[in-house]
Amino acid sequence: MKQAPKATKYESISHEIKRRILEKEYPYDAPIPDEITLAKEFGCSRMTMKKALDMLVMDGLLYRKRGHGTFIVKSAVDNQLVNVSTNESLGLTNLLKDKDIKSKTITFEVMFPDEHIASHLSITVQTPVYHIIRLRIVEGEPYVLEETYMPAELISGITDEVLQSSIYSYIKNQLHLTIGGCHRKIRADKPNELDQKYLKCAPDDPVLEVEQIGYLNTGVPFEYSFSRHRYDKFVFTAVNIQKT
């Protein structure tokens, strides 16, 4: 069951350096040791060291200045902004591990997709898809209304029981497929009837909608979904590092 992912050298180095930063073992007002010194300490080449540090730069935890050195982004550490959506894996169940998550299935059917949906899933309108609407309930409070389309042949064997827990777990553990990434669009919207009914929105409560296309690591789209969140219960976070 446990498939220890065998951390690479740069991953474990990156992890250790991240630990040192978060536990404030390096001062903020000076550069951390230079790449060559660190490479020597960890017994690796400079390229590998660079790759380890690259990961932390991507997380917004470090920045580099050619000719100067590598420095800690103080405010990132202080405000604990690190790493919210960059490495975020898909799925509520994963995101809110410690919470009590329940699901209420509102719609669960197989249908033919319209042009728009078919196009986003890279399938034809003759390919049947699951159409699922679920209300996710966190700690007893309605949290998000998810409408999902998935090609039925690709993600086969969805049952009511699967919908009660986690579709992503099912895809990973039962179907042995690997999720590779996603494209998302985030927008604000007025609540529709479903939102008002299930999320218990007032008619003038906005919702935050996340439109998402999920891809397997094969590049095949497996999911086209719309997640509508109560505006007072959800914030989407993103980190953006300019390429140097």
Partner DNA sequence: CAGTGGTCTAGACCACCCA
Partner DNA sequence: GGGTGGTCTAGACCACTGT
Q: Which lies closer to DNA via its Cβ, residue 19 or residue 68?
A: 68
Q: At its nearest, how many Å lie between DNA and the CB of residue 15?
A: 12
- Out of DNA, a second copy, none, which partner does residue 44 contact, by CB within 5 to 8 A per kind? DNA
Residue 77's CB is within 10 A of a number of other CB atoms, namely: 16
Q: Which lies closer to DNA via its Cβ, residue 32 or residue 201?
A: 32
Residues, the chain? 244
Under 8 Å between Cβ of 70 and 36: no
- 3-state per-residue secondary structure call for 9-64: HHHHHHHHHHHHHHCCCCCCCCCECCHHHHHHHHCCCHHHHHHHHHHHHHCCCEEE
- Out of a second copy, DNA, none, which partner does residue 215 contact, by CB within 5 to 8 A per kind? a second copy
- Out of DNA, a second copy, none, which partner does residue 204 contact, by CB within 5 to 8 A per kind? a second copy
Residues that bind a second copy (CB under 8 A): 60, 62-63, 65, 71-76, 78-79, 81, 85-89, 119-122, 179-190, 203-208, 213, 215, 217-219, 221, 229, 231, 234-244
Q: Which lies closer to DNA via its Cβ, residue 47 or residue 110?
A: 47
Q: Which residues contact 231 (CB under 8 A, 6 or more apart)?
A: 188, 205, 206, 207, 208
- Out of a second copy, DNA, none, which partner does residue 31 contact, by CB within 5 to 8 A per kind? DNA
Residue from 12, 87, 6, 4 nearest 48 by CA: 12
Q: Which lies closer to a second copy via its Cβ, residue 77 or residue 152?
A: 77
Residue 235's CB is within 10 A of a number of other CB atoms, namely: 9
Q: At its nearest, how many Å lie between DNA and the CB of residue 72?
A: 12
Q: At its nearest, how many Å lie between a second copy and the CB of residue 171?
A: 13
- Out of DNA, a second copy, none, which partner does residue 145 contact, by CB within 5 to 8 A per kind? none
Q: Which residues contact 61 (CB under 8 A, 6 or more apart)?
A: 18, 21, 72, 73, 76, 77, 82, 83
Residues that bind DNA (CB under 7 A): 6, 8-10, 31, 34-37, 43-48, 50-51, 64-70, 244
Under 8 Å between Cβ of 194 and 214: no
- Out of a second copy, DNA, none, which partner does residue 48 contact, by CB within 5 to 8 A per kind? DNA
Q: Which lies closer to a second copy via its Cβ, residue 62 or residue 133?
A: 62
- Out of DNA, a second copy, none, which partner does residue 181 contact, by CB within 5 to 8 A per kind? a second copy
Q: Which residues contact 14 (CB under 8 A, 6 or more apart)?
A: 51, 52, 53, 55, 56
Cα atoms in the Cβ-side hemisphere of radius 13 Å centred on 49: 16
Q: Which lies closer to a second copy via its Cβ, residue 64 or residue 102?
A: 64
Q: Which lies closer to DNA via its Cβ, residue 187 or residue 243?
A: 243
